[in-house]
Amino acid sequence: MDKEEEQKSIRNEFYDNVNMAPKELEEWLKTEESKSVGQDSGNGESIGHKSGKKIIAIKNKNKDQLTKSDYEHMKKVNSYVSRHTAQGPSSDRKDSPWRYSLMNWGHDPCKDDGC
């Protein structure tokens, strides 16, 4: 697979995984629920919360504006969403730290299964 094909594959998976619009994600990141979950990145803000900000920036770019760093982050998002969707609770999914954490990474699992 050449670089262009690899980037297209990463982008397609990213846009499949990130099912929240930039404005929707921006509003979510302002909530206490968003700020209440995730591993601290070292400055009081969680890794997922920081990721959400990067996702907004990526989604607001055209594909020809995406950088190597953007693609690296998109791969990280794809990996996170894939791992964490598989680990969901069997009940009370809607108001769970599991969902809140995924939403920080731009993926609302309730859009897929209605919670």
- pLDDT tens by residue, 52-95: 999 999 999 999 999 999 999 999 999 999 999 998 888 889 99
Calpha distance 57→80 (Å, rounded): 18
- pLDDT in the model for residue 29: 97
Please check whether residue 111 is in contact with residue 19, taking contact to mean a CB–CB distance below 8 angstroms.
Answer: yes
Beta strands in 13-102 (DSSP E): none
Measured on CA atoms in the order 12, 13, 19, 25, is the torsion positive or negative? negative
Tokens of 94: 């809607």
Task: Classify residue 70 by burial, with Cβ atoms within 10 Å: 0-12, 13-18, 19+.
Answer: buried
